[in-house]
Structure 1
Amino acid sequence: MKLKSKILLFLAAIFLLFSMIVWLYSMLLSERTNEEWGKIYVKSQINFDKSRALLPIMREITVIKQMSREHALIQMALNDENATLREKGLEVLERYRLKFQDKSYFAAFLKSQNYYYNNSTNDYAQNRLAYKLSKENKEHRWFYDAILLGDEYQININRDTMLGVTKVWINLLLKDNNNQTIGIIGTGFDLKKFLKESVDLKQEGIYNVFINKSMSIQLERDSELIDYSSLSVPYEKHKTLSLIIKNDEEIQKIKEEMLKLEHLDKENSISTLWIEYKGKKQLLSMIYLKELGWYGITIINAKKLILLNNFSVFLVFCIAFLIALVVISIIYNRLLLNPITRLKKIMREVEHGKYEQHIPIIGSGEIAELSKQFKSMLEFVIRNNSELESKIEERTAILKESQQEISSILENVDAFIHIKDVNCKYTYANKNVIHFLGLPLDEILTKDDTAFFDENTANMIRKNDLHVIEKGIKVEVEETITNPLNNETKVFLSIRTPLFRKDGSVYAICTTSSDITQRKLAEKKIHDLASYDTLTQLPNRRLLMERLEQAMTLSYRNKFYGAVMFLDLDNFKPLNDTYGHDRGDNLLVEVAARISSCLRDIDTVSRYGGDEFVVLLCELSLEKDEASKSARVVAEKIRVSLEKPFILNVLSENEEKRIEHKITASIGVTLFMDNDVTIENVLKSADIAMYKAKESGRNTIHFSS
Structure 2
Amino acid sequence: MGLRSKSLLALAFACLVALVCAGLIGWQVVENVREHFGLAYARNYTQLNRQKILAPVSRELALSLRLADSEVVRQWLLDEDDAGKRALFFKEVEGYRRDFLDHSWFVIADPTRHYYFDDGKGDRGAAMQAPRYTLRTDEKNDAWYFATLRNTGHFNINVDYDHALNVTKVWINVLVRDGSRKIGLAGTGIDLTRFLADFIRHDEAGVTPMILDRQGAIQAHPDASLIALNSATGAAVQQRTVFDQLPLAADRHALRTAMQAAETRPGEVETAWVELGGRRQLLALSYIPELKWQVLTAVDLHAARVIDTNWIWPVVAAFAAMMALLLVGFGLAVERLVLRPLRRLQQSAGAIAAGHYEVALPAAGNDEIGALSRAFGVMADTVRRHTAELEHKVRERTAALEAANQAMAAAHKKIDDSIDYASLIQRAILPDHQLVQTLGPHHFVLWRPRDVVGGDFYVFRADGDNCLLGVVDCAGHGVPGALMTMLARAAIDHAIAEVGLRSPAAVLARTDAAMRAMLADAELPRGIATNMDAGFCYIDRAAGTLRFAGAKISLYWSDGQDMGELRGGRRALADKRVGEYADAELELAAGRTFYLVTDGFLDQAGGEHGFGFGNRRFAEMLRQHAGLPLERQAEAFDAALADYQGALPQRDDVTLLSFRFD
TM-score, normalization by structure 1:
0.39
Q: Which has the higher contact order (CA 8 A, sep 6+)?
A: 2
**Structure with larger Rg:** 2
